[in-house]
Every structure is written in C-alpha cells, then in structure tokens.
Chains A and B, each alone.
Chain A
Amino acid sequence: MTQMKFTGAVRRVATVLTVGLLATPAFADFPEKPVTVLVGFGAGGGADTLARLIGKEAEAALGQPVVIENVPGGGGVVAATKLMNATPDGYTIGMAVTSTFSYAPLASDTVKFDADTFDYLTSAAALQNAVVVGKDSPFNTWEDVVAAGKSGQKVSFGSSSPAVNLMMNYISAHDGYEMKVVPTKGGAEIMKDVMGGHMDMGWSAGIHQRFGDDVKVLAAAGNERLVNSPDVPTFRDLGYDVGDDTYFLFFAPKGIPDEVFQALHDAFSAGAQKPEVVSMVESKMGFPSKVLMPDQLRENVAASTAIYEKLIAAAGN
C-alpha cells in the first residue's frame, strides 16, 4: 500500500530523471510537461476506466505523466466547455462520447460549443446501444412491439436520456403509435425495471450483457449489429432511417500544431490498441474495442449530428 501511495511522486521523479538523462532532440520537443486529460464523466465509470487504462499506455509512449482529471456533468458538456477555452498546446485534452458533440449542442443553449469546435484524436471503444425487454415479456421481436403499439396498447419504455427519448418517439411516430417514454437514472436501473415488469422495454448502452438470459434484446440502435447478439436486427434493418454509433473518444481544442497532434494521436491510439487494453475493454467491460482515425471520428460526429437534427425537426412537427 505504501508503495502504491507514493506512486504519483515516485513516478514524477523517475520521469524527470529519465527525460533528463535521455534528452535527445526528439524528447526536447513535445511533451515537456505532464499532459492532462479532462474526463467528462465521474471517477469509476466506463469512460473514466478507459481513459485511465489508455492514459497509462500513452504515458509510456509520451515519456511524460498523463494526469486524469474527472470533470463530470451534463454528459461530458462541462469537460468540453472547460477545454474549449484551454490553450491549444496539446497539454490539455479531453475524453467524452459522440453525443457530447452531436446531441448536446443542439439540445441546450447553455452549450457554447459544437461539433466543429474540437479536433478528435482517437476513439477508445464503441457503445452497444440496444432495446431490451425482460425475459418474461410477451415481446420476442421488434415486430411484436409494433403490433402491440398499432393495436392501441401504450407500451412503456425506460429511457436513459432525452436523446434516447427523441429516437424512440421518432420510431413510434414512424409506425403511427405512441409510447410512454419514461425518464430514468439509466443503466442498471432500467434493467431492474424491465426485469421487474414495471416497464415494458428499456434502453441499454451495453449493460444488458451482464444480465445474460434475464433480458431479451429486440433491436440494436447503432448502424452495425451488436457484437454479442449478431442475430438481432438494427433499426436500419427494420426499415427506420435512424442509427447512431456512439464512441468513447479523445478530443482536443482546435489549433494544436500538427506535429503535436500527431504525437498525441500516435500515443493514445497505440495505447487503445495495446492487446492488454483491448482484452480488458472487450472481455471485462463488454465494449468492442474500436479505434478510429481523426477523420472517421469527425464523420461519426457529423453523421450523429445530422441524425439528431432530423429527430429534433421531426419532434417539432
């Protein structure tokens, strides 16, 4: 324990020594001091865990400590707002999810940034968004839900965020029926409510994988099928024009010098691809490890923004 407690200090001293001894031209450039990662979610959650795992690998690659700072709030918005005003020197970067940049700026005037305010470094993993029901539910496929809805039954749906409300309202409106979309605290709370029969269906960002046969998956909400339920159709397969792929991603304020950006990208994306990290992410956390390039991430955020613009416009009518 004593050893662990001192790690922070010892590591710093050690790095300073190493850097001092190995001061070659390559090291003399970026980074010359610790890099801070503002994580948009609280300590102990999925995003925080990923950031710390990958940050540890990036630390080795960069030769400087990577400090993880939790700035929770508004689904990553607080961290992104802080970063928006940070100097673009590469010493402060952030970590959040796709919807932080696509949905949040559209939803509230409080959000002062948009998808183009930032550059995206690399992604860490993909969420497994799905619609699930309890194992005793009469619904076995998505078609059962549509049939029940069209017959006049108002099915209830446990939602984890207003973005999910938008998507489910759009889907039910597409088929001409209404759902009772219930706000919840999300995650395991929704699993409890569908298992206990308090709600007919619920949203899961991947947590359903922990409940095995106690829940049934009806549909996948992304553009690709779920890794662990390949037989379940996506909403696109079912004929709805929606599909939102959500990634955990690292981002940085615009205007970082190219070589610094490249160094950060190399360090963090290599870290995310390390076999130890991949096995941790896939087998223990249950998210498929997906490492995208900055351009792909920009496309991902743009596609997601387009979808939410459409959903918001549809809800307004």
Chain B
Amino acid sequence: MLETVITAFSDALTIQTLVLIVAGVFIGQFFGAIPGLSALTAIAIAVPLTYYFTPVGALAFLVSINKGGTVGGSVSAILMNTPGTPEAAATAFDGHPLAKQGKGLKALKMALFSSVTGDTLSDFVLFAVSAPLALIAIKMGPTEMLSVIVFALTIIASLVGRSMFKGLIAAFLGLLLATVGLDPEGGTSRFIFGMPDLMDGLPISAVGIGVLAMAEVLRQLVMLRGAAGDSHLPLSSERPEDKRLSWAEYRGTLRTILRSAAIGTGIGALPGIGSSAAAFIGYNAAIRASKDPKSFGKGNIEGVAATEAANSSVVGANFIPLLALGIPGNVAAALILGAFIVHGIQPGPHLMTEQGRLVYAMFAAMVIANGTNLILGYFGLRVFAFAARAPAMVVFPTIGLVCLTGAFLTSGTFGLPLVVGFAVIGYLMRALEFSFVTFIIGFVLGPSFELSFRQTVILADGEIGYLFDRPIALAIFGLAAFTLARTVWRHVAHARKPEET
C-alpha cells in the first residue's frame, strides 16, 4: 500500500507532469477568472489535446484545469459581479459588496483559501473512503435521487429573496425552461419550434452566461455610461487589514469552511446534483448557523468562504462516482471521463485493482495541483484585482464580447442569439427584483428532477407500497417536508412583523 503510494508520487513528480499541472492550474484560473469563459470551456478545448499526452499527464492536466477553474471562478464573481457559472453565483452575494467596500483583495484571498481547503478535504475523502461511498451511490436508486433533489430544492427555497411569490415564480420559470427539448421518455418534442438545436434542451452554459454575466454587463454598461473613464470599483482600501486575511480570520471561518466542505463532498458523491446546488446549500447553511444572519448579502466574508468551500469540494468528490462507477457527476467530469477512456482507463468497480498505480498517481497529482492552485492563485489575484480596475469603458465592452465568444465556444452558433436572449431575461429579473438564484436552480435541477420523478412513477406502477419499501427515500422526503414547512413559517412570521431594518 505505502509502496504503491510512493511509486505513484514518483510517477506524478516527473518534469512533464509537473509542468502540465502548473499549466493546467494556470489555464483553469485564467479561464475561470474571465467573465463569460469558464473552466468548462478550457476543459472542452483541452480534452482533444490530451489524447497525445501520457495517461498520468493527461489526467493531471485536466484535473488541474478543473481545480484552477474553481478558484478563478470566484474572481469574476467578486470583482465584476459577473459569475461565469451558476456555482459561483453565491460568491458574488457577499464577495462583490466587499469589493465595493475596497476589500476586494481580502475577499479574493478568502475565496482562494476556502476553495483550496474544501478541495483538499474532499480529495482526502476520495483517497480514503471512495469505495464505501461508491457503495452508497449504488444504493441510491431513482426514488432516492428524487428525494434528495426535492430536499435540495426545499433548502434552496429559503433563498427566494424578499418576496416569496417572486422567488417561487422564478423557480418555476426555471423548471419550465428545463423541459425544452426532447421528452426524456418518449422522445417527442417540447418547445423546440422546429429547431434541431433545441433537441437536447437549452444549453446550460449559454443560459448561465446570459442570465448571470451578460445581464450584469448590460446593467453596468447603462449605469456607468458617462462616468466611463472611471473604474467601477473603488480604489483598494489603504488600511492593511482590509487587504490581508489574517490567520485569526481564517480560523474564525474554519467552522463554516468545514461545514461547506462536508456538504459539497456529500453532494459531489451523488451524481446528478452538482456544484451549483452545493454552493447555494453551503451558503444557506452558513446563514442558518450564523449569529448575525442579516449581515449576509452585504459583505460578510463568511458568505464567500461558505460558497467557495462548498463548490470546490464537489470537484474532488465528483470523482467518487466517476472512478468507482464511471458515472460523471457534471459536464466537466463527463469530459474528463472521455479522456480516461481514450487512455485506456476504464472507470468502474475494478479500476483500483487493475490500475491502482495510475489512480494513486492521479491522487498525487490532485494534491500537487491543490498546492499549485494556492501559490499561483495567491500571486494571480493581484493581477486580476489590478486588471479589474481598468476604466469601465474598457472593461465592460470587452467582457460583453468575451461573453459572446464563450457562448459560441460552448454552444456553437446557436449560443450567440441565446445568450443575448437570456441576457434580456436576466436583466428583466434584476429590474423587477425576481430572484435569478431560484431561477437558475430550477433550471439546473429541473431535468434530473423530472427524470427521477418519471422513473419513480414508472417503477412504482401505481402501487403506493413501492414507496414504503424505500426507507431512505421516505426519510429524506420527511426532511424535505420539514424544511419546507419551516421556510414558509419563517417567511410568513417575518412578513407579519414590521420591518426592523
């Protein structure tokens, strides 16, 4: 065992692999940090290149891009308020207010440290207990998955914002748009208007870029017109404690980070839920646990830590179903799975016994990549923070173009009109104060929700007894009902009381 680990590290410590890891982390951070692009874009571009690398090198490279992307993603969310992917949307809630207060660097550092901490923890879980966790994943059938998704939806329902009506309308709009495409059971068309491009549904990347990034760019362009020579961000605060992140501050958020890492790891181990839900659940859990819940959304650094630790820990944990069963948890993992297969690595229950050395080398590469992420990120943050201070009339037109480019890279020519269309929807939602968070969550979880619901209905075949044979699912449904009741109760109670703030 120990010998295997040592051999594995020596496999991973070749010059080629190290160079690939550093390059991968750099590319991931770079793509993640630019609004409109994401680590996913980078991975999609990189996969074909890796066909010519050694197996260890290829995997190390892709995993490094993925890891770099989770750190980079926080940069555009914090500095620009334009999260490139839904998973970083909650980072902007507190990160951008901090940047507006001149504490951008501090928020970025918090994001970096919590991200790397969460990622490292989930990697160790992957190391240590991936086999038993994969067994749990096998035990989760369609009905169990349905219960987990419903539970996740009810937790996130508490993020509806000020108006419950508007938040829920947005959520159901997301669910509605998620039904576009071919019906999962019969293959008949729904809302595709004769366009084959819509057969697989609205591409999540174009919707994400449109609603989250482009709509914000629109808003900023209009808002900053005239004052365009200035930057949209204030000068970094001169007080040193606003730029630094002290050890005590990190220690103070450690509980939040650990909680979010646990949430992210648990969600990552189950395929089909994904890092966006993990990020919002982690954020929500931090509010619940906080002594001062009202400070969230106005620049509480714990909000940044909670989100980033949760979405980053999904990245490592996603490899649990990927390696043990060959089931990718999200699109990035699906692309990496392709690279596995090209290199003759067949994820599945026998991977460890057949390819143990390679799997450990990949683990080693993951650990090295986490370290690299920390170091490169630490220096890279300053560069990005500096670049973001360029005049608004340089920054926002450029980001607008990058958003279009990113939409094309991920969704083809069809992505271009789509991203503009969804920018309109995102803009209207901002203007009318509809929560785009619940919209995105409804859209992201919609397909899994519908599929597992229909699977459950077909498997149950009209017999209610089917449900009672599944205690795990019943227990989770119970939790969901409890959460929902509590959320509604709080909202009503809160509305009755006169506004305190």
A149 interfacial contact with B, CB 8 Å: no
A197 partner residues in chain B, CB cutoff 8 A = 141
Given contacts A156-B459, A182-B455, contact A52 B347 (CB under 8 A): no
Known pairs A7-B49, A52-B48, A162-B187; A191 contacts B326 (CB<8 A): yes
State which of A69-77, A231-239, A255-263 sits at the interface with chain B.
A69-77
**Is B140 an interface residue, CB under 8 A from the partner?**
yes
- For residue A12, CB closer than 8 A to chain B, the reply is no
Please measure, in the bound complex, the distance between the C-alpha atom of A284 and the C-alpha atom of B282, giving whole angstroms: 39
> Which one of B44, B140, B337, B459 contacts A199 once the chains associate, using CB atoms below 8 Å?
B459
Is the Cβ of A181 less than 8 Å from the Cβ of B47?
no
Asked whether, in the complex, the Cβ of A285 is within 8 Å of the Cβ of B184, the reply is no
| Known contacts A71-B412, A74-B182; A44/B348 CB under 8 A | no
Is A317 positioned at the interface, with any CB of B under 8 Å from its CB?
A: no
Stretch of B99-107, B338-346, B422-430 with 4 or more beta carbons under 8 angstroms from chain A: B338-346
Does the CB pair A44–B338 fall under 8 Å? yes
Is residue B489 within 8 Å, beta carbon to beta carbon, of the partner chain? no
Chain B residue nearest in CB terms to A178: B461
A286 to B335, CA, bound (A): 18
Q: Is the CB of A52 within 8 A of B337?
A: no
Interface residue? B137 (CB, 8 A): yes
Q: Is A20 part of the contact surface with B, judged by Cβ < 8 Å?
A: no
Please tell me if the beta carbons of B196 and A211 are within 8 angstroms of each other in the complex: no
Contact of A162 among B19, B186, B197 (CB under 8 A): B186
Q: What's the least CB distance linking A302 to chain B, in Å?
A: 22
In the bound complex, residues from chain B placing their C-beta under 8 Å from that of A42 are 334-335
Are A196 and B140 within 8 A (Cβ)?
yes
B138-171 vs A, CB cutoff 8 Å, 1 = contact: the mask equals 1111110000000000000000000000000000
Q: A182-B458, A189-B327 are in contact. Are A110 and B194 (CB under 8 A)?
A: yes
Question: Please, which residues of chain A bring their CB within 8 A of the CB of B182?
Answer: 74, 108
CB–CB B138/A196 < 8 A: yes
A111-B196, A183-B184 as given contacts; A211 in contact with B338, CB under 8 Å? no
Question: In which size bucket is the chain B interface?
Answer: 35 or more
Which residues 331-359 of B have a CB within 8 angstroms of A?
A: 334-339, 341-344, 346-350
Q: How far, in angstroms, from A74 to B199 measured CA to CA in the complex?
A: 5
Q: Is the CB of B137 within 8 A of A211?
A: no
Closest to A156 in B: B459
Q: Point out the residues of chain B lying under 8 angstroms from A284, CB to CB.
A: 341-344
Residues of A close to B455: CB separation below 8 A: 182-184
A108 to B276, CA, bound (A): 33
A residues in contact with B305, CB < 8 Å: none
Q: Does A4 lie within 8 Å of B52, measured CB to CB? A: yes
- Please, which residues of chain A bring their CB within 8 A of the CB of B347? 188, 210
Taken together as a complex, chains A and B put the C-alpha atoms of A85 and B197 apart, in Å, by: 15
Once the chains are docked, how many angstroms separate the CA of A162 from the CA of B184? 8
A1-B20, A43-B47, A73-B200 known; A207 vs B338 contact (CB < 8 Å): no
A68 within 8 A of B: yes
B346 touches A210 (CB 8 A): yes
- B386 CB-CB contact with A under 8 Å: no
Interface size class of chain A, counting residues whose CB lies under 8 Å from the partner chain: 35 or more
**Does A107 have its Cβ within 8 Å of any Cβ on chain B?**
yes
Alpha-carbon separation in the docked complex, A205 to B198 (Å): 25
- Binary A-proximity of B243-279 (CB < 8 A = 1, otherwise 0): 0000000000000000000000000000100000000
Residues in B with CB closer than 8 Å to A163 are 187
Contact of A74 with B196 in the complex, beta carbons under 8 Å: yes
Chain A, Cβ-Cβ closest to B184: A183
Does A87 interact with chain B (Cβ within 8 Å)?
no
A181 to B341, CA, bound (A): 29
A182 and B192 form a contact (CB under 8 A): no
| CA A156 to CA B454, docked complex, whole Å | 13
The answer, among B138, B188, B343, B344, for a CB contact under 8 Å with A192, is B138
Please tell me if the beta carbons of B199 and A193 are within 8 angstroms of each other in the complex: no
Q: Is the CB of B187 within 8 A of A108?
A: yes
Task: Let me know if A49 is at the binding interface, CB within 8 A.
Answer: yes
**B23 and A68: CB pair below 8 A?**
no
CB contact list, A50-82 vs B, under 8 A: 52-53, 68, 71-74, 77-78, 81
Is the C-beta of B378 less than 8 angstroms from some C-beta in chain A?
A: no
Listed residue (A4, A44, A107, A212) with the most chain B CB atoms within 10 angstroms of its CB: A44
B58 to A: closest C-beta gap in Å? 11
CB atoms of A207 and B200 under 8 A apart: no
How far is A165 from B350 in the complex, measured between Cα atoms in Å?
30
| Segment 89-144 of A: residues with Cβ below 8 Å from B | 107-111
Cβ of A95 to closest chain B Cβ, rounded Å: 14
Q: Which residue of chain A is the closest to B326 with respect to CB atoms? A: A188
Q: Is the CB of A198 within 8 A of B461?
A: no
Q: How far is the CB of B59 from chain A (nearest CB, A)?
A: 13
Does B325 have its Cβ within 8 Å of any Cβ on chain A? yes
A78 adjacent to B199 (CB under 8 Å): yes
Chain B residues with Cβ below 8 Å from A49 are 51, 338, 341-342
A77-B196 in contact (CB<8A): yes
Apart from A1-B19, A43-B335, what are 17 other A-B pairs with CB-CB below 8 Å? Answer: A44-B44, A49-B341, A73-B197, A73-B199, A77-B196, A156-B458, A183-B185, A184-B455, A188-B327, A188-B348, A192-B137, A210-B348, A210-B350, A211-B349, A211-B350, A214-B348, A214-B349
Sample of 30 A–B contacts (CB below 8 Å)? A4-B49, A42-B334, A43-B44, A43-B338, A44-B44, A44-B336, A44-B339, A49-B342, A53-B51, A68-B48, A74-B200, A77-B196, A110-B195, A111-B196, A161-B187, A162-B186, A165-B185, A183-B184, A183-B451, A183-B455, A184-B451, A188-B325, A189-B327, A191-B326, A192-B138, A210-B326, A212-B348, A212-B349, A214-B348, A286-B346
Which residues of A approach B to under 8 Å, CB–CB?
1, 4-5, 7, 42-46, 48-49, 52-53, 68, 71-74, 77-78, 81, 107-111, 154, 156, 161-163, 165, 180-185, 187-189, 191-193, 195-199, 207, 210-212, 214, 280, 283-286
Closest 8 CB pairs of A and B: A44-B338, A198-B141, A162-B187, A74-B199, A284-B344, A188-B326, A196-B138, A183-B185
